[in-house]
Structure 1
Amino acid sequence: MTAALDQALAWQQQSLQLVSRTFALTIPQLPEALRAAVGNGYLLCRIADTIEDDPVMPWEEKAHWQQVFLQVVEGQVEPAVFAEGFAAQLSADMPEAEHDL
Protein backbone atom coordinates (compact mmCIF):
# COMPACT_ATOMS: atom_id res chain seq x y z
CA MET A 1 0.00 0.00 0.00
CA THR A 2 1.05 3.54 -0.60
CA ALA A 3 1.50 6.04 2.20
CA ALA A 4 -1.53 8.01 0.96
CA LEU A 5 -3.73 4.90 1.03
CA ASP A 6 -2.47 3.97 4.49
CA GLN A 7 -3.29 7.49 5.68
CA ALA A 8 -6.77 7.37 4.11
CA LEU A 9 -7.56 4.00 5.69
CA ALA A 10 -6.36 5.22 9.09
CA TRP A 11 -8.61 8.28 8.77
CA GLN A 12 -11.50 6.03 7.72
CA GLN A 13 -11.03 3.84 10.80
CA GLN A 14 -10.84 6.89 13.07
CA SER A 15 -13.97 8.37 11.51
CA LEU A 16 -15.86 5.11 11.98
CA GLN A 17 -15.02 5.25 15.69
CA LEU A 18 -16.32 8.81 15.94
CA VAL A 19 -19.56 8.60 13.94
CA SER A 20 -20.71 5.04 14.65
CA ARG A 21 -20.79 2.96 17.76
CA THR A 22 -22.26 -0.17 16.19
CA PHE A 23 -20.53 -0.35 12.82
CA ALA A 24 -17.19 0.65 14.33
CA LEU A 25 -17.37 -2.58 16.33
CA THR A 26 -18.60 -4.89 13.59
CA ILE A 27 -16.63 -3.79 10.52
CA PRO A 28 -13.27 -4.87 12.02
CA GLN A 29 -14.80 -8.34 12.50
CA LEU A 30 -15.25 -8.76 8.74
CA PRO A 31 -12.68 -10.59 6.62
CA GLU A 32 -9.78 -8.23 6.00
CA ALA A 33 -10.51 -8.05 2.27
CA LEU A 34 -13.95 -6.52 2.99
CA ARG A 35 -13.16 -4.09 5.81
CA ALA A 36 -12.04 -1.08 3.77
CA ALA A 37 -14.85 -1.35 1.22
CA VAL A 38 -17.60 -1.85 3.81
CA GLY A 39 -16.17 0.91 5.99
CA ASN A 40 -16.08 3.26 3.04
CA GLY A 41 -19.62 2.35 2.05
CA TYR A 42 -20.83 2.95 5.58
CA LEU A 43 -19.20 6.38 5.71
CA LEU A 44 -20.78 7.32 2.39
CA CYS A 45 -24.17 6.44 3.86
CA ARG A 46 -23.26 8.39 6.99
CA ILE A 47 -22.63 11.50 4.85
CA ALA A 48 -26.17 11.20 3.47
CA ASP A 49 -27.44 10.85 7.06
CA THR A 50 -25.46 13.90 8.12
CA ILE A 51 -27.27 15.98 5.51
CA GLU A 52 -30.61 14.75 6.84
CA ASP A 53 -29.65 15.08 10.51
CA ASP A 54 -28.78 18.78 10.47
CA PRO A 55 -31.40 20.30 12.80
CA VAL A 56 -31.07 23.81 11.36
CA MET A 57 -30.76 23.32 7.62
CA PRO A 58 -34.03 23.87 5.70
CA TRP A 59 -35.48 20.87 3.80
CA GLU A 60 -34.96 22.56 0.43
CA GLU A 61 -31.27 22.98 1.15
CA LYS A 62 -31.00 19.39 2.37
CA ALA A 63 -32.58 18.21 -0.90
CA HIS A 64 -30.03 20.29 -2.84
CA TRP A 65 -27.07 18.80 -0.94
CA GLN A 66 -28.44 15.26 -1.28
CA GLN A 67 -28.61 15.81 -5.04
CA VAL A 68 -25.06 17.17 -5.19
CA PHE A 69 -23.84 14.24 -3.07
CA LEU A 70 -25.53 11.79 -5.43
CA GLN A 71 -23.78 13.48 -8.34
CA VAL A 72 -20.45 13.01 -6.54
CA VAL A 73 -21.15 9.30 -6.02
CA GLU A 74 -22.09 9.00 -9.70
CA GLY A 75 -18.83 10.70 -10.70
CA GLN A 76 -20.52 13.77 -12.19
CA VAL A 77 -19.28 16.30 -9.61
CA GLU A 78 -15.86 16.58 -7.98
CA PRO A 79 -15.94 15.59 -4.29
CA ALA A 80 -14.22 18.83 -3.29
CA VAL A 81 -17.11 20.85 -4.74
CA PHE A 82 -19.53 19.03 -2.45
CA ALA A 83 -17.20 18.99 0.56
CA GLU A 84 -16.41 22.68 0.49
CA GLY A 85 -19.96 23.82 -0.26
CA PHE A 86 -21.68 21.54 2.22
CA ALA A 87 -19.15 22.19 4.98
CA ALA A 88 -19.91 25.88 4.72
CA GLN A 89 -23.64 25.17 5.24
CA LEU A 90 -23.51 22.45 7.90
CA SER A 91 -24.87 23.72 11.20
CA ALA A 92 -22.59 24.38 14.14
CA ASP A 93 -25.09 22.25 16.09
CA MET A 94 -23.74 19.15 14.34
CA PRO A 95 -20.96 17.19 16.09
CA GLU A 96 -17.37 17.91 15.09
CA ALA A 97 -16.97 14.35 13.76
CA GLU A 98 -19.81 15.00 11.31
CA HIS A 99 -18.11 18.19 10.16
CA ASP A 100 -14.88 16.28 9.62
CA LEU A 101 -16.66 13.54 7.70
Structure 2
Amino acid sequence: MSEQRHEYDDYFHRLKPALMSKAEEFALLGYEDISINDIWRYLTEKRWKKPTEGIRVHELVSDVLALKAGDFMNFVTVEAYRSQEDPFEGIGNDDLQQLLKTDDD
Protein backbone atom coordinates (compact mmCIF):
# COMPACT_ATOMS: atom_id res chain seq x y z
CA MET A 1 0.00 0.00 0.00
CA SER A 2 1.33 3.40 -0.89
CA GLU A 3 1.92 5.85 1.92
CA GLN A 4 1.09 8.72 -0.40
CA ARG A 5 -1.82 10.86 0.65
CA HIS A 6 -4.92 10.67 -1.56
CA GLU A 7 -6.86 13.77 -2.49
CA TYR A 8 -10.03 12.33 -0.90
CA ASP A 9 -8.43 11.34 2.43
CA ASP A 10 -10.05 14.34 4.12
CA TYR A 11 -13.45 12.77 3.37
CA PHE A 12 -12.70 9.53 5.21
CA HIS A 13 -14.41 10.50 8.48
CA ARG A 14 -17.43 11.92 6.68
CA LEU A 15 -17.77 8.69 4.71
CA LYS A 16 -17.24 6.43 7.72
CA PRO A 17 -20.97 5.58 8.16
CA ALA A 18 -21.21 4.49 4.51
CA LEU A 19 -17.96 2.53 4.80
CA MET A 20 -19.23 0.79 7.95
CA SER A 21 -22.50 -0.04 6.21
CA LYS A 22 -20.61 -1.57 3.27
CA ALA A 23 -18.34 -3.58 5.61
CA GLU A 24 -21.44 -4.90 7.40
CA GLU A 25 -23.01 -5.83 4.06
CA PHE A 26 -19.86 -7.73 3.07
CA ALA A 27 -19.90 -9.50 6.45
CA LEU A 28 -23.47 -10.67 5.76
CA LEU A 29 -22.21 -12.08 2.46
CA GLY A 30 -19.53 -14.06 4.30
CA TYR A 31 -16.63 -11.61 4.02
CA GLU A 32 -16.28 -10.87 7.74
CA ASP A 33 -12.61 -9.88 7.55
CA ILE A 34 -13.06 -6.89 5.23
CA SER A 35 -12.53 -3.70 7.21
CA ILE A 36 -13.49 -0.13 6.40
CA ASN A 37 -9.77 0.53 5.83
CA ASP A 38 -9.68 -2.28 3.25
CA ILE A 39 -12.66 -0.75 1.46
CA TRP A 40 -11.06 2.70 1.63
CA ARG A 41 -7.85 1.32 0.13
CA TYR A 42 -9.80 -0.22 -2.76
CA LEU A 43 -11.61 3.03 -3.41
CA THR A 44 -8.51 5.23 -3.32
CA GLU A 45 -6.28 2.86 -5.28
CA LYS A 46 -8.80 1.58 -7.82
CA ARG A 47 -12.11 3.45 -8.06
CA TRP A 48 -10.75 6.91 -7.30
CA LYS A 49 -7.31 6.41 -8.80
CA LYS A 50 -7.83 9.63 -10.76
CA PRO A 51 -9.61 12.06 -8.40
CA THR A 52 -12.28 14.34 -9.83
CA GLU A 53 -11.90 18.02 -9.11
CA GLY A 54 -14.86 19.45 -7.23
CA ILE A 55 -16.29 16.05 -6.29
CA ARG A 56 -19.24 16.19 -3.91
CA VAL A 57 -19.68 14.06 -0.82
CA HIS A 58 -22.87 12.46 -2.12
CA GLU A 59 -20.94 11.20 -5.17
CA LEU A 60 -18.36 9.57 -2.92
CA VAL A 61 -21.09 8.02 -0.75
CA SER A 62 -22.70 6.66 -3.91
CA ASP A 63 -19.40 5.06 -4.95
CA VAL A 64 -19.03 3.43 -1.53
CA LEU A 65 -22.56 2.05 -1.52
CA ALA A 66 -22.35 0.85 -5.14
CA LEU A 67 -19.22 -1.23 -4.46
CA LYS A 68 -19.78 -4.90 -5.21
CA ALA A 69 -18.08 -7.69 -3.29
CA GLY A 70 -16.87 -9.28 -6.54
CA ASP A 71 -15.10 -6.10 -7.65
CA PHE A 72 -13.43 -5.80 -4.26
CA MET A 73 -12.35 -9.45 -4.23
CA ASN A 74 -10.93 -9.18 -7.76
CA PHE A 75 -8.85 -6.20 -6.62
CA VAL A 76 -7.58 -8.06 -3.54
CA THR A 77 -6.71 -11.13 -5.62
CA VAL A 78 -4.74 -9.12 -8.18
CA GLU A 79 -2.93 -7.26 -5.40
CA ALA A 80 -2.01 -10.57 -3.75
CA TYR A 81 -0.52 -11.87 -7.00
CA ARG A 82 1.37 -8.61 -7.57
CA SER A 83 2.88 -8.73 -4.11
CA GLN A 84 4.36 -12.18 -4.65
CA GLU A 85 7.94 -12.21 -5.88
CA ASP A 86 7.84 -15.73 -7.29
CA PRO A 87 4.91 -17.94 -6.36
CA PHE A 88 6.98 -21.06 -7.13
CA GLU A 89 10.10 -20.05 -5.20
CA GLY A 90 11.34 -22.90 -3.06
CA ILE A 91 9.44 -25.55 -5.02
CA GLY A 92 11.73 -28.03 -6.71
CA ASN A 93 11.40 -29.14 -10.31
CA ASP A 94 10.11 -32.58 -9.30
CA ASP A 95 7.42 -30.98 -7.16
CA LEU A 96 6.40 -28.70 -10.03
CA GLN A 97 6.17 -31.68 -12.38
CA GLN A 98 3.96 -33.46 -9.84
CA LEU A 99 1.69 -30.40 -9.58
CA LEU A 100 1.38 -30.17 -13.36
CA LYS A 101 0.72 -33.88 -13.79
CA THR A 102 -2.77 -34.71 -15.02
CA ASP A 103 -4.81 -37.80 -14.38
CA ASP A 104 -4.10 -38.87 -17.98
CA ASP A 105 -0.33 -39.11 -17.31
**Structure richer in helix, relative to its length:** 1
CA radius of gyration, larger in: 2
Q: TM-score, normalised by structure 2?
A: 0.30
